[in-house]
Amino acid sequence: MNILKDAGLDIDVFDDSQNLITKDELSKRVADKDFLITPLSTKVDSDVIDAAPNLKLIANYGAGFNNIDTEYAKSKGIPVTNTPKVSTTSTAEVTCALMISLAHRVVEGDQLMRTKGFTGWAPLFFLGHELAGKTLGIIGMGQIGQAVAKRMHAFDMKILYNQRHQLDSATEEKLGAKFASVDDIVKNADVITLHAPATPETHHLIGAEQFKEMKDSAMLINAARGPLIDEAALLDALKNHEIAGAGLDVYEAEPKVDDGFKSLKNVILTPHIGNATVEARDAMAEIVAKNTVAMDKGNKPDYIINGVEL
């Protein structure tokens, strides 16, 4: 906020901490604005863009941008920016936390101790699984995927990965990672974690067909985008023991979560906290503020994602 104030910009802030801004209110409040800073939870569609004839920039507070009609903004000559890179460490750490917690049944154990407790140590009581020696499949090997690989390679996991372009051999060697098809990952991985963007091509990337191919001991982690998984199929797979567990930080109909997941002990549900650290959020805020000031001064902002030439 100080960056914007120091630049002499007038700021209109939606500060209701209990509710999201409605489309109608957003359209009214943006009508006379030059710049829009918006979080991932706010939809900025063609109607909202049309309601703001003076709009010069949409600065998304997040690495993703599927909440914005980027092509329509481009047709209006409005650049859309995001905040990549700065949430990499936090999201990778949350991904690894979900993975470790599932394997060692940490959340289950916490719930047990808060309720009926236990009678004492026993050789076969509350067994989980070690991750060392297991195969981790990473779908989407960008910055976050590589950060996860780096951390879990240190746990002595074998790494299979898939993305559009294969990494160079030096990076693969450093991460202990081997390029594989999605099908091979689905069939061979003990843990699968998703780090792909939400696009028409990745919608329901993991669904009923994939769950039938996965090991019945496999675990699925999603701290990327909810629509990558067919959640109805996931729920069926968990109930039918086609896979062993899931850790979800994002949801297909976010913020709604299917009640069916809430009753399952082998599922960890977190409220989209992938980049919810002071460090990441401060860095994200700095990016959107500096991009706004840059546009106000006639300079090009960083991280334009919809191809608008300035």
Q: What are phi and psi of 38, to 5 degrees?
A: -140, 145
Q: Model confidence over 111-162: pLDDT tens digits?
A: 999 999 999 999 999 999 999 999 999 999 999 999 999 999 999 999 999 9
Q: Within this chain, do residues 135 and 217 fall inside the same structural domain, yes or no?
A: yes
> And the tokens for 279?
């460090």
Q: Is the same domain home to 149 and 36?
A: no
* Residues sharing a CB contact under 8 Å with residue 181, sequence separation 6 or more, in sequence order: 162
pTM for the whole thing? 0.91
Alpha carbon distance 202, 39 (integer Å): 22
| Per-residue exposure over 260-286, b if at least 16 CB sit within 10 Å of its own CB, e if not | ebeeeebbbebebebbebeebbebbbe
Distance (Å, whole) CA 198 – CA 187: 23
d(Cα 274, Cα 83) in Å, to the nearest integer? 14
Is the pLDDT score of 271 beyond 70? yes
Which residue is catalytic, options 104, 204, 272, 281? 272
Choice among 225, 231, 242, 252 that is catalytic: 225
Q: Residue 1: its pLDDT value, please?
A: 65
Q: Is 225 a catalytic residue?
A: yes
Average pLDDT score over residue span 157-185 = 97
Identity (one letter) of the amino acid at 306? N
Asked if residue 306 belongs to a domain, the reply is no
| CATH code for the domain in which residue 225 is found | 3.40.50.720
DSSP string of 10-49, one letter each residue: -------SSSPPPHHHHHHHTTT-SEEEEETTS-B-HHHH
**Do 120 and 216 fall within a single domain?**
yes
Is 129 catalytic? The answer is no
Kindly state whether residues 130 and 220 are assigned to the same domain.
Answer: yes
Asked if 254 is an active-site residue, the reply is yes
